[in-house]
């Protein structure tokens, strides 16, 4: 295995061991050593966090109550009705390419309008696998004005579908979605807001949710990612980042040409969550990099204390500048709700 692949494998191990283990305005954050860093505020899930303003959002995903949430910006060169019709027909074309299960004539089980959801909404329940004749998936497209929103649920067996459990679930999420202009994000009325990129869903935590965002594009070649998740059935790792990091360093010591040295390793509270932090210098012969990580293993079945991982990678060099940015990001994170006592 090439040395760089070995490093990448070991870097993934730190996460596995320790967890296995919206943009508004530009603020200037002064970190602990007095450095002014222009920052943008992003609203992710039920939290806000500031990211260096020069970085751009690279990837974002959200799940709520076992359903994936995807926003679609309607193209400006066509009418809104035509845009949603095109989006809907494109999705139908894709699922109609699927092979129905044995004994079933069609992939689509049923399809209907969802009245009272957004400006327009339509959903389809379909077989997603030719090996599974006993369950299907609901997908709902909602026209929420400037944007469309896809709510794509997990599979549900037909017995459960008789009770319309997942159907009602995605309908509730669709009805609770609000498109929000970026300048008005922090002025939302009091509620149980779950933030997406262009809007938010006003529903309390129930059983499962997940948010992920990654950023890139800094002069210091930074890559930053934030992930928060909670699932009532999810196994929460008991091993912490500190213990996992020490084990990973010990494993690396037996790999020729690969080494890790600790810059910072210890407990750190972020957004009221008592987690653990690691900053490492990784070396693979002539290639050196800096690895930043903060993890919190979460509280059981709690949307207020989700399992959270924040990571940043960068080439070695200008350590103080990168630590200043890292500290500014972590210190900026806060819940967009009032925790229950």
Do 222 and 302 fall within a single domain?
yes
Give the confidence band of 252 by pLDDT, cuts at 50, 70, 90.
confident
- First-last CA distance in the chain: 51
Residues of the chain with pLDDT > 90: what percent? 64
pLDDT of 224 > 70? The answer is yes
Residues 92 and 129 in one domain: yes
Q: Which of 181, 212, 245 is where one domain is finished?
A: 181
Confidence band, pLDDT 50/70/90 cuts, at residue 10:
very low
* Complete DSSP assignment for 110-166: EEEE-TTSSSEEEEEEE---TT-SSEEEEEEEEE-SSEEEEEEEEEEEHHHHHTTHH
Are residue 266 and residue 245 in the same domain, yes or no? yes
pLDDT of 198 > 80? The answer is: yes
Long-range contacts: 189-192, Cβ < 8 Å, 24+?
192/337
| Residue 189 within any structural domain of the chain | no
Q: Is residue 28 part of a domain?
A: yes
Residue 297 lies in a domain: yes
Q: Which domain holds residue 86?
A: 67-181
Asked if residue 216 and residue 326 are part of one domain, the reply reads yes
| Res. 313 pLDDT band, cuts 50 70 90 | very high
298 part of a folded domain: yes
The pLDDT confidence band at residue 131, using thresholds 50, 70 and 90, is confident
Q: Above 90 in pLDDT, residue 51?
A: yes
Same domain? 149 vs 51 = no
d(CA 255, CA 241): 21
Q: What distance in Å separates the CA atoms of residue 226 and residue 51, rounded to the nearest whole number?
A: 11
Q: Are 165 and 212 in a shared domain?
A: no
pLDDT above 90 (res 26): no
Residue 97 token pair: 């390419």
130: in domain: yes
> Considering only CA atoms, which of 224, 180, 217 is closest in space to residue 49?
224
Q: What's residue 300's pLDDT?
A: 84
- 140/226 same-domain check: no
Predicted local confidence at residue 341, as pLDDT: 72
- Residue 165, domain CATH: 3.40.1000
- Whether residues 143 and 245 share a domain: the answer is no
The domain that holds 41 is classified in CATH as 3.40.1000.10
Confidence of residue 257 (pLDDT cuts 50, 70, 90): confident
Is pLDDT larger for residue 262 or for residue 132? 262
- Please state, in angstroms and rounded to a whole number, the distance separating the CA atoms of residues 240 and 251: 17
What pLDDT does residue 134 have? 73
Same domain, 50 and 76: no
Q: Beta-carbon neighbour count of residue 262 at 10 Å?
A: 13
Q: Which of residues 181, 216, 243 is at a domain's end?
A: 181
Please name the residues in contact with 341: beta carbons below 8 A apart, sequence gap of 6 or more: none
Record the pTM. 0.86
**Same domain for 261 and 215?**
yes
Q: Which of 229-238, 285-294, 330-339 has the lowest mean pLDDT?
A: 229-238
pLDDT above 60: residue 238? yes
Q: Which of 91-105, 119-133, 182-196, 245-259 has the highest mean pLDDT?
A: 91-105
- Residue where a domain stops, chosen among 134, 166, 181: 181
Number of domains present in the structure of the chain: 2
**301 and 242 co-located in one domain:** yes
DSSP readout, 77-102? TS-HHHHHHHHHHHHHHHHTTSPPPT
Asked if 240 and 320 sit in the same domain, the reply is yes
């Amino acid at each position: 295995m090439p040395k760089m692949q070995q490093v990448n494998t070991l870097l993934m191990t730190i996460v596995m061991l320790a967890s296995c283990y919206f943009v508004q305005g530009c603020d200037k954050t002064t970190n602990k050593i007095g450095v002014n860093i222009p920052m943008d505020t992003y609203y992710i899930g039920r939290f806000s966090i500031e990211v260096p303003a020069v970085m751009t959002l690279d990837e974002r995903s959200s799940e709520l109550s076992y359903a994936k949430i995807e926003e679609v910006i309607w193209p400006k060169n066509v009418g809104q009705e035509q845009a949603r019709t095109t989006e809907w027909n494109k999705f139908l074309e894709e699922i109609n390419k699927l092979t129905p299960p044995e004994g079933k004539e069609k992939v689509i089980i049923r399809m209907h309008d969802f009245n009272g959801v957004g400006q327009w909404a339509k959903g389809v329940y379909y077989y997603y696998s030719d090996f599974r004749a006993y369950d299907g998936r609901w997908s709902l497209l909602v026209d929420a004005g400037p944007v469309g929103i896809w709510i794509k649920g997990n599979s549900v067996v037909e017995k459960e579908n008789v009770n319309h459990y997942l159907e009602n679930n995605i309908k509730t999420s669709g009805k609770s979605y609000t498109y929000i202009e970026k300048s008005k994000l922090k002025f939302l009325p009091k509620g149980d807001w779950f933030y997406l990129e262009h809007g938010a869903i006003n529903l309390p935590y129930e059983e499962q949710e997940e948010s992920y965002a990654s950023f890139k594009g800094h002069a210091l070649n930074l890559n930053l990612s934030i992930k928060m998740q909670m699932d009532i059935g999810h196994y929460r790792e008991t091993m912490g980042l500190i213990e996992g990091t020490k084990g990973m360093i010990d494993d690396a010591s037996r790999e020729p040409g690969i080494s890790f040295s600790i810059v910072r390793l210890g407990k750190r509270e972020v957004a009221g969550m008592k987690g653990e932090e690691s900053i490492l210098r990784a070396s693979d012969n002539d290639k050196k990099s800096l690895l930043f990580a903060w993890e919190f293993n979460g509280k059981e079945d709690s949307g207020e204390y989700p399992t959270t991982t924040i990571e940043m990678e960068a080439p070695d060099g200008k350590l103080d500048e990168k630590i200043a940015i890292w500290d500014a990001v972590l210190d900026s994170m806060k819940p967009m709700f009032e925790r229950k006592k």
